[in-house]
Structure 1
């Protein structure tokens, strides 16, 4: 576990997660379509505060949401759908988690970046149904018109150095021989409105911009810099965003 990954165990980061845009409804329609086996049990790895697990739970037989961060799981239980009877939470790294399969679908959000892939896949593969798919879902705002003004502010304060904008986590997993990729899809773009204040808090929900990584004066300077970058684009303190998700799925394998 890297120092940046450990930031997701901070209560402030778990609290800030609620300001991330929700996944488009189309994501959950597509996830349902990818379930080919019975029982319709789902494993959500790196579940965080349940942005995938909570909306998906009413659509399936059961879902196990597993995350290594106790604050994330605690936050998820308190958010809408977090107490659904079809949803079970577990605080554990996925590579040592207690699994209750077989699972007809495995879902993973952006947190799959942080997992030890060989150990993770070795743990989940024995608990899958014959046609189970692993789906990696990434989502967020696209085509933000303020990107040119915002990036320099982020670069001044980010704790992540040598960021590679061309890195693709799914391609990397496939190259390791851990996934037979069978499909990809992008959802229809949806409009989403968010206040500037909530947009700033969303940035603080990331591993490299967490408030606890910054002295108070730096955090204040970051917030002011972001607010200034966004000011020309906000109407009465509200931004118009466009949200899109990308799904990539295939059959997970054990290395070697």
Structure 2
């Protein structure tokens, strides 16, 4: 896990992040609704290029976006909304971050599974308002008729061969006794149109399929398999994706 996590410090991975589908607008409506305490400050942990932090910043008083990868933060600063006055960036692992609470909400988008949970919660809980929630957000395309072909490429080339599709990180944290679960919600699917080349490239933003982990020939083979799988479903080189998000939230606790 440590070796795979380090791939997020690669410049090519940070650049490939721009090809991941954005979070549906409904995600941000729900996040704002979950804030019930002043001040309306948000802590985004494992922020990456700010896919959550950048759209959320104009809707709250402040967002602190924390990530351990300098290339990710540098990329995020340059992306739309990355220089918003309500947004502060910091390069640090969350368990060592310089936090400036209190925070009324903590967000984690497909990132908290990389973190040492006990150390992370011990760091953030003292910085929370009385009713602050931790929200874990997963999102991506659903109902993809081409997925079996894509999965063939992933299984052939992924550096992570023990992936369990039934694993739920939020449930695992709750089972560890680190939070009280308060709710879950799924957003309505939204249509996102993406060029086939960009759809292929977004896989290289993941820890197990980064280009720097592959030889050029291997990367070309992966790309060719995925492109062959999706091309029949594209119109004029563009795929129509249905993107959905799942939010799970609860009150974090300090480890006993």
TM-score class, shorter: over 0.9
TM-score normalised according to structure 1 size: 0.99
State the Cα distance separating 1:235 from its structure 2 match.
1.2
Residues 1:102 and 2:102 aligned together: yes
Per the alignment, residue 135 of structure 1 pairs with 135
CA distance in 1 between counterparts of 2:37 and 2:243 reads 31
CA distance in 1 between counterparts of 2:77 and 2:142 reads 29
Contact 2:149 2:225 in 1 (8 A): no
Contact 2:109 2:138 in 1 (8 A): yes
Per the alignment, residue 240 of structure 1 pairs with 240
Per the alignment, residue 30 of structure 1 pairs with 30
Q: Which stretch of the first structure deviates more once superposed, 223-232 or 98-107?
A: 223-232
Per the alignment, residue 220 of structure 2 pairs with 220
Per the alignment, residue 210 of structure 1 pairs with 210
1:170-229 deviations in Å (ceiling 9; x for gaps): 010000001101000000110111111000111110111000000011111111111111
CA distance in 2 between counterparts of 1:232 and 1:44 reads 38
CA distance in 2 between counterparts of 1:233 and 1:113 reads 33
State the Cα distance separating 1:153 from its structure 2 match.
1.2
Unaligned runs of 5+ in 1: none
Per the alignment, residue 122 of structure 1 pairs with 122
CA distance in 2 between counterparts of 1:95 and 1:223 reads 36
SS at match of 1:47: coil
Please tell me the root mean square deviation across aligned C-alpha atoms, in Å: 0.7
Residues 1:62 and 2:26 aligned together: no
Contact 2:64 2:90 in 1 (8 A): yes
TM-score normalised according to structure 2 size: 0.99
Per the alignment, residue 180 of structure 1 pairs with 180
CA distance in 2 between counterparts of 1:62 and 1:165 reads 35
Per the alignment, residue 196 of structure 1 pairs with 196
State the Cα distance separating 1:230 from its structure 2 match.
1.0
* Matched ranges for 1:12-51 at <5 A: 12-51=12-51
SS at match of 2:3: coil
Q: Which stretch of the first structure deviates more once superposed, 71-80 or 142-151?
A: 142-151
CA distance in 2 between counterparts of 1:125 and 1:227 reads 45
Q: Would you say how many aligned residue pairs link Structure 1 and Structure 2?
A: 256
State the Cα distance separating 1:56 from its structure 2 match.
0.3
State the Cα distance separating 1:59 from its structure 2 match.
0.4
SS at match of 1:6: helix
CA distance in 1 between counterparts of 2:163 and 2:184 reads 24
Residues 1:151 and 2:164 aligned together: no
Runs of 4+ in 1 over 2 A off after TM superposition: none
CA distance in 2 between counterparts of 1:22 and 1:173 reads 25
Unaligned runs of 5+ in 2: none
1:4-48 deviations in Å (ceiling 9; x for gaps): 111000000000000001100010010000001001000000000
CA distance in 2 between counterparts of 1:159 and 1:232 reads 28
CA distance in 2 between counterparts of 1:202 and 1:224 reads 14
Per the alignment, residue 171 of structure 2 pairs with 171
State the Cα distance separating 1:161 from its structure 2 match.
1.3
